[in-house]
Structure formats: C-alpha cells, structure tokens
Amino acid sequence: MANVALLIAGGSGNRMGQSIPKQFLTVNERPVIVYTLEAFQKHPEIDAIAVVCISGWETVLQAYANQFNITKLKYIIAGGKNGQDSIRNGVYELEKHFAPDDIVLIHDAIRPMVSADIISDCIRVTREKGNAITVIPCAEAMLQTQDGLISSGSYPRDRLKRTQTPQGFRIGKISDLHRRALKAGITNSVASCTLMIEMGEQVYFSVGSEKNIKLTTVEDIDIFKALLIAKRSEWLK
C-alpha cells in the first residue's frame, strides 16, 4: 500500500501582499515549499510526492526539487481556479498512477513545520478509519457573532477542533467524493474535510500541533522564523 503526499501550492497568496507566491518566498535561504517538501521527503512511510503548482512556477519548482534533492517528487500538476479545483486536479492525476486503496495525504504547501509525528499519525488513522483530519484543540473562548462587531453568545470550546493539514484519504474514495460533489453543484468547499461533511461523510481526527502553522500573513513568516531557531528547554517534559 503506497502513501503519497499531495502538496497544494496553487494559490497566489494575495493576503501576504508580496510580489511572488508565498509558497516560493525565501526564508533563511530556502523557499517555504522546500521546507514542506523536505518533511515528506525525509519521512520513511512516504513513497511519492505530488505538487499542485500555480501556473508559471512549475519549472522553478522542479529546479528547487533538483537543487535540494527532493527525489520523491514525481508529479507536478496544474492548479485550479480555487482550492477545491486544485485538490480535484491532484487526486484525479494520482488516481491514474495508484490503486484505489492507496493513501493520499493532502497538505498545504505553506505549512512547512509539519512534523514526522503528525505525518505518521495521519497515515495511521487513515489506515484504520479510512480518513484522517489533522486537528488541534481549541484553547480560546469562542464567541458567536452575526455582524463581526458584537457578541452576546459563546460556544463551548471543548466541542470544537481547529483543522490543519495533512488530511488523509484513500485515493479512490476522495476521487469519487470530488466526482459526486461536482454532480451536486459543490464547487468551492473550504477544505477536503468540509467537502466530506457537506457530502454527508464522517471524518476522523489525527493529532496536530500548534507549531504546524499555515503561512498566510507576514506575521506568520515572523513566527515561522522564530520556530526554526527555537529549542525546547531541557526541563520541560
């Protein structure tokens, strides 16, 4: 049974406000996407990597893969007009090369701090349950609002999970889900986990981390730089 990482790098990163896509920004002499590629390259259970890439950057991506010895990168796939489109392009391509029961881990290319433990647990739960959504607990108080300005209600945080990636699926199952979603007119779901739920499917949780941040803003880049040099104190358990 193969385990394939599908990195989604099809976005332009408008919220970052930079002149190049955020997945190709250089941090400490390495593009962000290379950190992410290396996490899956080094994981012993990952057999191949595919990347859904923003148009015009495919050659750059391959050059970086060559430079940083990302030998597991086997497929570079064209991005779509939104996230759901890009993921569908990716899983449809993988369906041509892998068995229906093989596992795909769909991961944001701009989550470069994904750990080996997160990847391993996502694979484990997907094998056992058929899918796995990386999550972390919700630690903050959650307030309800209608207009974004005021609130008079709250929601129990112990009933909420914050989703991350990777999100694991059987390749045949997630491909079929995308076909059914198109027939149902669902074309812009926020993530694979929300698409599953919109299509009436149950999802299972695997373990994430607060360090597994998504680089969306300039402030996130600052946090990422700090995490790269951070070392846990020896007295912490």
pLDDT of 232 over the 90 cut: no
Q: What is the mean pLDDT of the chain?
A: 94
pLDDT of residue 204: 98
Is the predicted pLDDT of residue 104 greater than 70, yes or no? yes
Q: How many angstroms separate the CA atoms of 5 and 46, rounded?
A: 7
- Residue 76: other Cβ atoms inside 10 A: 18
The C-alpha atoms of residue 103 and residue 169 are separated, in whole angstroms, by: 6
- Tell me the mean pLDDT in the region 157-183: 97
79-99: average pLDDT: 96
Whether residue 211 has pLDDT greater than 80: yes
DSSP 38-88: HHHHS-TT--EEEEEE-TT-HHHHHHHHHHTT-TTEEEEEE--SSHHHHHH
Structure-model confidence comparison of residues 13 and 197, the more confident one: 197
Residues 37-64 pLDDT 10s: 999 999 999 999 999 999 999 999 999 9
Please give the model's pTM, rounded to 2 decimal places.
Answer: 0.95
Average pLDDT in the 143-167 region? Answer: 96
Mean pLDDT for 93-107 is 98
Please give the residue that has the higher pLDDT: either 77 or 14: 77
Pairing of strands 161-170, 131-137: antiparallel
Statement: residue 16 has pLDDT above 80? no
- Going by C-alpha positions, the residue among 104, 116, 142, 121 that lies closest to residue 211 is 116
Q: Which residue has the tokens 């369906």?
A: 95
Residue 18: pLDDT band by 50, 70, 90 thresholds? Answer: confident
pLDDT of residue 83: 93
**pLDDT at 73 > cutoff 80:** yes
Asked if residue 237 has pLDDT above 90, the reply is: no
The reported pLDDT for the residue numbered 14 is: 63
Statement: residue 15 has pLDDT above 80: no
